[in-house]
């Protein structure tokens, strides 16, 4: 019987991987809060109890951290959506599952990765963009069949009977729906906010609407979906 390898943590994950994950998690939080450019490598190091030069032991440079944050978000989004879809049976349930899950990865506490993707996309170098786009396409593809079915059933978009849901239409529909949801990143305020100094850092115009994510998802689904033409 062999001795177990030394530095291993709870789930048999090398400690080095844990540190890397901690850097990704804290970076996401900081990027979401202050933006990529405004976040210092020293901020990141400090958040995980390192000194300023040490993050570069785990990442080649600051931009690689940004890339890792975005990848993490898309992976989580994909996994959660697949799981949610597996629980859904009706068409409406599938749509709601996708919407609710997307709201989750966008607004759940500790899930700032996708918001960073949306906010700081410009800061990602072109080479990295191409890699992220691949993972993002995989996520977006999860929406396509459901939206396609909704449009063909006349439950989404112009219910004109002329051309039956061209692929192009479905794509635009997805962009508009996901756009509406993504943009909540700028105005939706979490119900349960931590006890933190409340500076006016919300988006323009919007007094916090009292809605949890379930309510927001319901309203969103109801807003976009036509009621069953019974």
Residues near DNA, by CB under 7 A: 19, 39-42, 45, 49-54, 56-58, 60-63
Cα dihedral 30→32→33→36 (10° resolution)? 70
> Which of 38, 58, 91, 197 touches its own copies by CB under 8 A?
38
By C-beta, is 62 or 129 nearer to DNA? 62
* Residue 182, binding choice from its own copies, DNA, none, Cβ under 5 to 8 Å by partner class: its own copies
Question: By CB under 8 A, is residue 227 in contact with its own copies?
Answer: yes
CA-nearest of 85, 100, 71, 70 to 144 is 85
* Residue 8, binding choice from DNA, its own copies, none, Cβ under 5 to 8 Å by partner class: none
Q: Using N-to-C axis directions, what is the helix angle for 62-87 and 126-141, rounded to 10°?
A: 0
By C-beta, is 23 or 217 nearer to its own copies? 217
Please report how many Cα atoms fall inside a 13 Å half-sphere around the Cα of residue 101, on the Cβ side: 26
By C-beta, is 23 or 106 nearer to its own copies? 106
Backbone angles phi, psi at 88, to 5 degrees: -95, 145
Q: How far is the CB of 96 from its own copies (least distance, A)?
A: 13
Positive or negative torsion for Cα 60, 61, 65, 71: negative
Binding mask 164-193 for its own copies (x = CB under 8 A): ----x--xxx-xxxxxxxxxx-xx------
Give 227's DSSP letter.
Answer: P
Using a 10 angstrom Cβ sphere, with 0-12 exposed, 13-18 middle and 19 or more buried, the burial of residue 11 is exposed
Residues in contact with its own copies by the rule CB under 8 A: 34-35, 37-38, 117-119, 121-123, 126, 129-130, 132-133, 136-137, 140, 157-160, 168, 171-173, 175-184, 186-187, 199-201, 203-206, 209, 219-220, 222-227
């Amino acid at each position: 019987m062999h001795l177990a390898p030394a530095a291993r943590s709870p789930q048999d994950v090398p400690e080095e991987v844990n540190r890397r994950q901690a850097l990704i998690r804290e970076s996401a939080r900081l990027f979401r809060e202050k933006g990529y450019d405004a976040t210092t490598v020293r901020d990141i190091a400090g958040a995980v109890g390192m000194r300023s030069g040490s993050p570069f032991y785990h990442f080649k440079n600051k931009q690689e951290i940004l890339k890792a944050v975005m990848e993490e978000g898309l992976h989580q989004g994909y996994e959660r959506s697949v799981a949610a879809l597996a629980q859904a049976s009706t068409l409406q349930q599938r749509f709601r599952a996708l919407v609710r899950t997307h709201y989750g990865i966008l607004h759940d506490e500790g899930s700032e990765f996708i918001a960073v993707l949306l906010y700081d996309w410009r800061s990602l170098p072109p080479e990295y963009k191409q890699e992220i786009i691949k993972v993002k396409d995989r996520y977006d593809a999860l929406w396509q069949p459901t939206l396609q079915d909704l449009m063909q059933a006349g439950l989404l978009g112009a219910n004109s009977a002329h051309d039956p849901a061209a692929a192009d239409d479905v794509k635009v529909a997805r962009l508009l729906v996901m756009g509406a949801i993504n943009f909540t990143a700028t105005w939706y305020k979490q119900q349960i906010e931590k006890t933190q100094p409340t500076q006016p850092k919300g988006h323009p115009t919007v007094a916090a609407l009292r809605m949890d994510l379930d309510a927001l998802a319901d309203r969103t689904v109801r807003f976009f979906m036509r009621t069953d033409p019974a």
